[in-house]
Chains A and B, each alone.
Chain A
């Protein structure tokens, strides 16, 4: 039988906040320096740099993996500063190693790729290495997100209109589907907030004011997460399906999508696929 970490183990920083005094034997990996003695609890006290046990490192990586999974579940891009503050704490010196190990585990165990949102942004998201399948929806526990439908429509709209669209055009289109900026929607709730705030915060969309417009108008484009999670070809196929047509029926967009596919297929130099 293997040796599980003893029940007192509480490496999660949140846990400490909630439970108050954790008791004597808490192999927490992140303690404020407590003038550690290198005595019998050497492996458990706040370690000097480089004197951490393998187990402590393993626990740290485990914490980091969980942290990344939870944050990504909410579609919040994960900032390096958050990682340092909430998980890595006093293991800053090995931050890169921890992140690398966490990324490895995420890929091997869960099939998620840890990817930087934009080169050098130090902000990360998880991309699914597995291709989602329609039947997944039947066995999921979280009903997916009903808002995904609306997002797909907007992404399709943006692409088909040449990769940028004004907010006015968006509402003109959505009105025809019974979706209004000022009216609560049965499925989408507050569509205006969804489109101009939530999707933007999740980095699916970019939302920018168009200067010198009166009344003021905004432009919408694909955000970095969209470029990473899907592709022009996939979106074009979606649009084609909705219209019960073939992607080739839109030659301009089809060519653009093909070029994008070629771009993606080229071996990645270092960073993630860049926007066209």
Chain B
């Protein structure tokens, strides 16, 4: 039980309606985990495991650490009544699992709204539209900056806009590659619903997993698209990769499948990610 202005009872109040089945139980381990999770915009799986272990250590040294999936599902069942969840996704470029706390009830860019000014948000929106419209999933810096005059809010010069774009990269909303920008996994996790609703005609979908697709490969014959990790998985043991839709030869290089085991062995450091053979069992 807690004291304070509102004397709260320890157990969850009767937030019924949306709950189907029992909500999980929060302990201080889960609370610390959530608090620290919220200090990140997005986390890689190994960082999440490290965080989980840390929280167990602080509160409950001897207990066996729950399987990560169960741990997160437990927390999510409690978060349900607040219309947020810890969502797991995969990075589009190399299939690494990532996690972010996302809003289920609102589908706009509202989480960004608190950190950026109106004109900055509008710049992001413009970049987002260019990215979605593009063939490659990338929008060039030049094209984005050319839209600076059309922005709502306080007038922004191109120089400032360049810095704002860098802010987006630093806070993991955008990724920059050779002067071009695409969406970070974090943005996709947070905004997929919003994007699919707002741009239903131009949005691209992966033929395999049916999720939003920003970067990927496409069939030159029939036009279907697939995420790089989806391609890797689908063609894993294929001697002759063929389009799942029209059966034509798949014209692109098949990427490697992300192997979390190798990642963990290497201590989760980025630099140790080596190119792996895909033909493994």
**Which residues from chain A sit less than 8 Å from chain B, CB to CB?**
2-5, 7-12, 14-15, 18-19, 23, 53-55, 58-59, 61-63, 65-66, 69-70, 74, 99-101, 103-105, 107-116, 127-130, 133, 135-136, 138-142, 267-268, 270-272
Complex: chain B residue closest to A53, CB-CB: B17
Interchain CB contact (< 8 A) of B82 among A19, A107, A109:
A109
A135 to B18, CA, bound (A): 37
Interchain CB contact (< 8 A) of B39 among A111, A112, A142, A270:
A142
Complex interface: chain A residues within 8 A of B39 (CB)? 140-142
Asked if A19 meets B108 with Cβ closer than 8 Å, knowing A14-B113, A130-B28, the reply is: yes
The digit string for B77-120, where 1 denotes a CB below 8 A from any CB of A, is 01111111000000000000000000111111110011000000
Complex interface: chain A residues within 8 A of B266 (CB)? none
Q: Shortest CB–CB separation between residue A51 and chain B, in angstroms?
A: 15
Q: Are B12 and A3 in contact (CB under 8 A)?
A: no
Q: Is the interface of A mostly helix, strand, loop or mixed?
A: mixed
Q: Shortest CB–CB separation between residue A9 and chain B, in angstroms?
A: 5
A111 to B30, CA, bound (A): 9
Complex interface: chain A residues within 8 A of B79 (CB)? 109
Asked if A108 meets B12 with Cβ closer than 8 Å, knowing A14-B108, A133-B58, the reply is: yes
Complex: chain A residue closest to B38, CB-CB: A69
The interface centre, meaning the residue of A12, A23, A129 with most chain B CB atoms within 10 A of its CB, is A12
A141 to B41, CA, bound (A): 8
Q: Shortest CB–CB separation between residue A246 and chain B, in angstroms?
A: 26
Q: Are B107 and A139 in contact (CB under 8 A)?
A: no
Within 8 A of A (CB), among B1-32: 2-6, 8-13, 15-21, 26, 28, 31-32
A103 to B79, CA, bound (A): 15
A9 to B18, CA, bound (A): 14
Q: Are A2 and B113 in contact (CB under 8 A)?
A: no
List 16 A–B pairs whose Cβ atoms lie within 8 Å, in order of A's numbering. A3-B20, A15-B107, A18-B109, A18-B110, A19-B108, A69-B38, A104-B8, A108-B10, A110-B35, A111-B31, A113-B2, A136-B36, A138-B54, A139-B54, A141-B39, A272-B4
Complex interface: chain A residues within 8 A of B40 (CB)? 140-142
Complex: chain A residue closest to B37, CB-CB: A141
Asked if A109 meets B31 with Cβ closer than 8 Å, knowing A99-B6, A140-B36, A141-B40, the reply is: yes
Complex: chain B residue closest to A106, CB-CB: B8
A18 to B111, CA, bound (A): 12
Q: Are A7 and B81 in contact (CB under 8 A)?
A: no
Interchain CB contact (< 8 A) of B18 among A8, A14, A58, A136:
A58
Q: Are A101 and B105 in contact (CB under 8 A)?
A: no
Complex interface: chain A residues within 8 A of B114 (CB)? 70, 74
Q: Are A110 and B34 in contact (CB under 8 A)?
A: yes
Complex: chain B residue closest to A16, CB-CB: B108
Q: Are A111 and B4 in contact (CB under 8 A)?
A: no
Q: Are A11 and B34 in contact (CB under 8 A)?
A: no
A140 to B41, CA, bound (A): 11
Complex interface: chain B residues within 8 A of A271 (CB)? 5
Interchain CB contact (< 8 A) of A135 among B6, B10, B54, B108:
B54
Q: Which 5 A-B pairs have the closest CB atoms?
A: A141-B40, A111-B31, A15-B108, A12-B106, A141-B39
* B50 interface residue (CB < 8 Å to A): yes
A120 to B15, CA, bound (A): 28
Q: Are A130 and B105 in contact (CB under 8 A)?
A: no
Complex interface: chain A residues within 8 A of B58 (CB)? 133, 135-136
Complex interface: chain A residues within 8 A of B81 (CB)? 58, 62, 105
* B51 interface residue (CB < 8 Å to A): yes
A45 to B253, CA, bound (A): 53
A78 to B81, CA, bound (A): 23
Complex interface: chain B residues within 8 A of A15 (CB)? 106-108, 110
Complex: chain B residue closest to A104, CB-CB: B8
Q: Are A114 and B4 in contact (CB under 8 A)?
A: yes
Q: Are A103 and B5 in contact (CB under 8 A)?
A: yes
Complex interface: chain A residues within 8 A of B83 (CB)? 5, 9, 58-59, 62
